[in-house]
């Protein structure tokens, strides 16, 4: 039923697809003193993508893999993820908690807009780190895959299968010169027959199953914090507080002033449905996180 | 799976029969497994809906534990009479619809009016393709509107006729239950009164409709949500004098 990725790509030009480069060098120029060619037209992602995807120097095009095996465009896409607000996901004993440090760039932005955590099916959620517009595309695709699976097989899509499909889709965009990689990484959490599961998919298409995962600016610090937690004994209620503490702890007060905390969970308490954590629990978690921060500062 | 096809829940164009129909193909269907009447009325707290739990296969009362009333989203109940498999398909469309609505997570949810509108479109478009969903659907619910909590009760049938009323009955109920409802329904009945009225109609249908069985389900929808009660039976009375010696005055050929 599933067409091979190659045949799909050959016949269909996805509407989102952006030709990442217009300029083609006619010959391999040995001289390094050539004047720099104009920046490529990037319709969807705008100027941000031009900087992320790097200057159009010949050896940094997507279709060329250098002698050391690196594909530059994929690495540059990863940089977009690394510069975004922190996204944390943990697998507790009775479910998954996803948390996002949503950096608020302007005071004019309405609270609650620019959602970073999306429901992809009844029992699965996706948290996006990186270019938000790219993330929307991945979410749309994941929703579509999950809906189609249920239509065909009559049961909700297993999380493993969904992670696989999303990873294939993200990877697809690293294979052709006329596509650019997604500038976003995604943490997918869901609860199905095999229990709660957490997957992280990177812009290269790599996807692993995790106990705890983090993306974005504060990922190193967040990962250290997650490793300290005893996840197999944590319930989701406690997990929410831990995630809030991690995100508050990792937030850089100096560089980015305001941020909104988006928390969602899938657990036994939420009837195995993916939903935003109820407001009262979020407030409790925030209060606990702020208290923990003050304690740390007081030391 | 085509990349360009939007996989949204409203894509209920239904019939997968190819557009190119040859001269020998038929489009009209016959219903096979059918449910009989559904009765619904508005009462003080919301809407009450009732039907029996039977599905007939022609003249055989084949399935006796069929749930023909289901909750849709947070605000509505749907009841169906007619072809049961088409009802199951409609439930699947509604499931897709409510799921994609739920995933938006923007504080809005589909109310009974919206669902009724959607179903009307689906039913009418299918009938125009000569491939109807052979059902009469009853849609009831309560949702907060500009004038506060608004109760809604409507019906759509297989040819797309739709209307909104204070009391609805489908199938045989149209002939047997509607007169009772018209005479005895009033605004703001309590739950107990509403149940009594509904049971009166169901009893008449049990006596007179050959495809109904003595196992009923009542469901209600209020601001708190939908409740579908477990099935139960009604007491019937057969001790009439005329039934005692039925062949007494009969004229036979031998």
| Domain-wise residue ranges, chain A | 85-298
Q: Which residues of B touch A8 (CB under 8 A)?
A: 3
Distance from the Cα of A198 to chain B's closest Cα (Å) equals 19
CB contact under 8 A, A147 and B102: no
State the average pLDDT over residues A131-153.
94
Q: Which residues of A touch B108 (CB under 8 A)?
A: none
**pLDDT value for A43:** 38
Instruction: Please tell me which residue of chain A has the smallest CA distance to B1.
Output: A2
State the average pLDDT over residues A255-271.
88
**pLDDT value for B28:** 60
**pLDDT value for A255:** 77
Count how many pairs of residues, chain A against chain B, have C-beta atoms within 8 Å: 37
State the average pLDDT over residues B49-69.
95
DSSP state letter for A96 = E
Q: Which residues of A touch B9 (CB under 8 A)?
A: 147
Architecture of domain A85-298: 4-Layer Sandwich (3.60)
**Greatest mean pLDDT range, A284-293, B235-244, B245-254:** A284-293
Q: Which residues of B touch A276 (CB under 8 A)?
A: 105
**pLDDT value for A183:** 93
Distance (Å, whole) CA B156 – CA A236: 44
Could you please report the per-residue DSSP string of B71-138? EETTTEEEEEEEEHHHHHHHHHHHHHHHHHHHHH-SS----HHHHHHHHHHHHHHHHHTT----EEEE
Q: Which of B2, B7, B8, B13 to mutate to test the interface with A (most CBs of A within 10 A)?
A: B7
Distance from the Cα of B11 to chain A's closest Cα (Å) equals 12
State the average pLDDT over residues A143-147.
95
Q: Of A140-149, A152-161, B6-15, B195-204, where does mean pLDDT reach its minimum?
A: B6-15
Closest of B86, B24, B80, B34 to residue B60, by C-alpha: B34
Distance (Å, whole) CA A290 – CA A285: 9
Closest of A225, A165, A168 to residue A190, by C-alpha: A165
Please indicate whether residue B9 or residue A202 has the higher confidence score (pLDDT): A202
Q: Of A42-51, A79-88, A272-281, where does mean pLDDT reach its minimum?
A: A42-51
CB contact under 8 A, A147 and B100: yes
Distance (Å, whole) CA A287 – CA A221: 21
CB contact under 8 A, B4 and A147: no
SS3 per-residue string spanning A117-179: EEEEECCEEEEEEECHHHHHHHHHHHHHHHHHHHHHHCCCCCHHHHHHHHHHHHHHCCCCCCC
| Count of alpha carbons within 13 angstroms of residue B110, beta-carbon side | 27
Distance (Å, whole) CA B181 – CA B201: 8
**pLDDT value for A60:** 55
Instruction: Please tell me which residue of chain A has the smallest CA distance to B12.
Output: A151
Could you please report the per-residue DSSP string of A207-271? EEEESEEEESTTHHHHHHHHHHS-GGG--HHHHHHHHHHHHHHH--TTT---EEEEEEEEETTTT
Question: Is A162 in contact with A153 (CB distance < 8 Å)?
Answer: no
Does A119 touch chain B if contact means CB atoms closer than 8 Å?
Answer: yes
Distance (Å, whole) CA B21 – CA A292: 70
Which residues, in sequence order, are bridge partners of residue A90?
A: A97, A212
Active-site residue list of A: 86
pLDDT digits over A8-53, tens only? 444 445 555 444 444 444 444 444 454 454 444 433 334 444 445 5
Could you please report the per-residue DSSP string of B183-210? HH--TT--HHHHHHHHHHHHHHHHHH-T
Active-site residue list of B: 28
Nearest to A119 among B2, B7, B103 (CB): B103
Distance (Å, whole) CA B75 – CA B79: 14
Does A143 touch chain B if contact means CB atoms closer than 8 Å?
Answer: yes
CB contact under 8 A, A147 and B9: yes
**pLDDT value for B242:** 77
CB contact under 8 A, A3 and B4: no
Return mean pLDDT, chain B. 88
Give me Rg for the CA atoms of chain A.
20
**pLDDT value for A28:** 44
The values of phi and psi at residue B45, to 5°, are: -90, -10
């Amino acid at each position: 039923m599933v067409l091979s990725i190659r045949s799909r790509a050959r016949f269909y030009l996805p509407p989102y697809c952006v030709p990442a480069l217009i300029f083609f060098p006619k010959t391999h120029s040995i001289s390094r003193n050539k004047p720099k060619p104009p920046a490529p037209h990037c319709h969807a992602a705008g100027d941000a993508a031009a900087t992320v995807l790097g200057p159009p120097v010949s050896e940094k095009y997507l279709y060329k893999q250098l002698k050391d095996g690196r594909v530059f465009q994929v690495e540059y896409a990863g940089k977009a993820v690394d510069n975004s607000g922190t996204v944390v996901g943990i697998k507790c004993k009775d479910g998954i908690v996803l948390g996002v440090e949503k950096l608020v760039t302007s005071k004019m932005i309405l609270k609650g807009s620019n959602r970073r955590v999306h429901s992809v099916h009844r029992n699965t959620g996706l948290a996006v780190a990186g270019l938000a517009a790219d993330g929307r595309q991945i979410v749309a695709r994941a929703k579509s895959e999950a809906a189609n699976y249920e239509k065909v097989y009559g049961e909700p899509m297993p999380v493993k299968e969904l992670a696989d499909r999303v990873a294939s889709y993200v990877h697809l965009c690293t294979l052709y010169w006329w596509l650019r990689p997604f500038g976003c990484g995604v943490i997918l959490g869901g609860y199905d027959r095999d229990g709660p599961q957490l997957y992280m998919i990177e812009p290269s298409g790599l996807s692993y199953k995790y106990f705890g995962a983090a993306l974005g600016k504060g990922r190193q610090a967040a990962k250290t914090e997650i490793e300290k937690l005893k996840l197999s004994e944590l319930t989701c209620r406690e997990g929410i507080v831990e995630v809030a503490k991690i995100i508050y702890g990792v937030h850089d007060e100096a560089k980015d002033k305001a941020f909104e905390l988006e928390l969602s969970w899938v657990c036994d308490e939420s009837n195995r449905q993916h939903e935003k954590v109820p407001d009262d629990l979020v407030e409790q978690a925030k209060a606990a996180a702020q208290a923990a921060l003050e304690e740390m500062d007081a030391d | 799976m085509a990349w360009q096809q939007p996989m949204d829940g409203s894509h209920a164009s239904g019939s997968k029969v190819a557009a190119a129909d040859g001269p020998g193909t038929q489009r009209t269907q016959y219903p096979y497994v059918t449910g009989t009447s559904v009765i619904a009325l508005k009462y003080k707290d919301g809407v009450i809906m009732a039907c029996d739990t039977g599905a007939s296969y022609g003249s055989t009362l084949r399935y006796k534990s069929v749930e023909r009333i289901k909750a849709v989203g947070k605000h509505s109940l749907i009841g169906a009479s007619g072809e049961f498999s088409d009802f199951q398909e409609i439930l699947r469309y509604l499931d897709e619809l409510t799921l994609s609505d739920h995933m938006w997570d923007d504080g809005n949810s589909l109310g009974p009016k919206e669902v009724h509108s959607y179903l009307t479109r689906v039913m009418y478009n299918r009938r125009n393709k000569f491939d109807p969903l052979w059902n009469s659907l009853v849609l009831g619910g309560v949702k907060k509107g500009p004038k506060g909590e608004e109760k809604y009760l409507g019906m759509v049938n297989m040819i797309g006729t739709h209307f909104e009323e204070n009391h609805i009955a489908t199938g045989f109920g149209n002939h047997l239950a509607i007169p009772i409802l018209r005479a005895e329904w009033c605004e703001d009945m309590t739950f107990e009164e509403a149940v009594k009225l509904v049971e009166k109609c169901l009893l008449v249908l049990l006596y007179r409709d050959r495809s109904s069985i003595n196992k009923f389900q009542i469901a209600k929808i209020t601001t708190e949500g939908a409740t579908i009660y477990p099935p139960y039976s009604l007491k019937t009375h057969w001790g009439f004098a005329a039934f005692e010696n039925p062949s007494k005055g009969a004229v036979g050929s031998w």
